[in-house]
Amino acid sequence: MPYIRIAQMISRPGREAEVEEILKKLSEYYPKQRGYVGGYALTPHSEGNMTRHGRVGIWESEMAAQTAAQTEHHLALRAQLLRVVDEDTHLELSFEGRPDPA
């Protein structure tokens, strides 16, 4: 079964473009990693004065996702991301995926 990661966050005020740029870099990086099946950058959705961002990544296994997450490049991008999002809103979830019945 595929391993699925979902991340969502709200950017700090005025930092929306930076968050989007970092998420774009992650979207460009992951397909080069072993075990990456596919993913989605989630379009920002504004709610009042907040802008919600996110991404979904689908991996062959948890090990593949963990290996990619421990690379120097990923850790550097993650550190940049944590500086421009509201830390209380940064949520990362992991699931095993089962296809819907045909």
Task: Please name each of the domains of the chain with its CATH number.
Answer: 3-95 (3.30.70.100)
* Local confidence band at 47 (pLDDT 50, 70, 90 cut-offs): low
DSSP per position, 32-50: GSTTEEEEEEEEEEEETTE
* Local confidence band at 26 (pLDDT 50, 70, 90 cut-offs): very high
- pLDDT at 74 (0 to 100): 97
- At 61-101, the pLDDT tens digits run 999 999 999 999 999 999 999 999 998 999 999 999 998 99
DSSP code at position 3: E
Please give the radius of gyration of the chain, using alpha carbons only, rounded to the nearest integer: 14
Tokens of 6: 């979902």
- Residue 16 pLDDT > 80, yes or no? yes
